Amino acid sequence: MITMKTRLFAIALCFASVAYAQADTTPASPITKLEIIDVKAGSGKEAIAGSTVTVHYTGWLFDAKASKNRGAQFDSSIGKSPFNFPLGAKRVIKGWDTGVTGMKIGGKRTLIIPSELAYGTRGAGNVIPANAALVFDIELLDVK
C-alpha cells in the first residue's frame, strides 16, 4: 500500500529531476590553469605591468581532440593592424595580462587559457561559448 508520504516523496523527486534536467549543463573546461609555452624567446625590452604592449595574435577555441588543441579559429590580427593594450590594466582577459607579462620583444608564446581567465560562464557573443578554454599564439612586437 502506497502512503501519502511516499506519493509526496515521488512527486518531489520528479520535480527535482525536471529542475536538474533544465539546469545549465554546459561542461566546464578541461583546462584548469594558465599554460604558457614559449615558442621563441625574445631579446628586446620586457613587457611589465604598466607598459603598453603591441602584439600580433591568433585565437582558437580549445579542442582537446584537435592538432595542438586548436579548434575553431575565432580571431586574428595577422594581416591587419597589430593590437595595443596597457598590460595589467584589466583591458584584456586575465589570461592575456598574466600570459604576456615577462615576454620580450620578438618573443612568441602560446597561451592555453582556462575559461575562468577568459570569458567564463558568460562567453563572448556568438563566437566564444560559455566555459570555453582558449588557445592564443602571441608575438610581442613592441613595449612602451
Active-site residues, by number, are: 57, 74-75, 93, 119, 136
Q: Which DSSP string corresponds to 28-52? A: PPS--S-EEEEEE---SPBP-TTSE
Handedness of CA 103, 107, 112, 117 (dihedral sign): positive
CA distances from 111 to 4, 30, 55, 91 (A): 58, 15, 13, 17
